[in-house]
Amino acid sequence: MGIGYKTSWLAVRDATPEEVADALGLRHRRTVDWTEGTGAAYRQGVFVARPVPDWTIAHGRIHLPAGIDATDPRFPTWLRTLGTQLGDVQYFATDRIGEYHAWAKVESGELTRAYCYIGMHGDVPLHIGEPTDVERELGVGQRWLEDGWQDWQEPQWDEWNAAMPREADVMRIAQNWSICPLDIPDDTVDAPGIHGLPSGVEPRPERE
């Protein structure tokens, strides 16, 4: 199946899948191939694999992280903690239905950049650090609601909407920072990965 849109993932430099799975506290682990693992992670849990040299990817639509997302005040601490354990860590998420688009990265233990946009609310609940070069090139990640927005007129809202990210922008940022999942040919990933569930998440019963 592979990793596409409407999901979230981590890109971790120079860490093994086992190290990433341990840092995420994954339980009920099983070893599966790329196709099965990425498909399973769209439904439940997290799949961790190393599809390319230098980068390990952890993919999970619902449970990465479990119980929160990039809009939650606990999210920066969660990502910083992973960075402390794993080194350079990047987070990406995109869902066109709610226009939820997010990206963030920890470098040398510091959360240097984080941005999240929720289109259905017209809000930017997370913005840490300065926009990176690729964000400036794309024209995204540079605006959030400021005092006085309640008095905006249509031209100002049009300008705001034009500067907000789309799912393709998230993929382009991922490609520039590390690896874009869309660039990974599914048939080239031979090494198996680890699918597991974070703490507090129990396996769903099998359908008869």
Report pLDDT for 154: 66
Q: Does the reported pTM lie above 0.75? A: yes
Q: Which amino acid is at 90?
A: Q
Report pLDDT for 146: 60
Q: According to DSSP H, which parts of the chain are helical?
A: 17-23, 34-43, 75-86, 133-138, 154-162, 167-177
Strand spans (E) along the chain: 7-13, 27-32, 46-52, 55-59, 89-95, 100-107, 110-118, 123-128, 193-197
Q: Tokens 């693992």 — which residue?
A: 37
Report pLDDT for 208: 39
Token pair in block for residue 110: 């510091």
Contacts of 161 (CB under 8 A, 6+ apart): none
Distance CA 95, CA 125 (A): 16
Return phi, psi of residue 142, to 5°: -115, 0
Chunked mean pLDDT (size 10), the chain, 208 residues: 92 96 97 96 97 95 94 96 96 92 95 91 86 93 61 66 86 97 91 94 70
Report pLDDT for 163: 74
**Cα–chain center distance at 89:** 10
What are the beta bridge partners of residue 194?
Answer: 31, 48
Report pLDDT for 160: 65
**Cα–chain center distance at 38:** 14
Token pair in block for residue 92: 């990406």
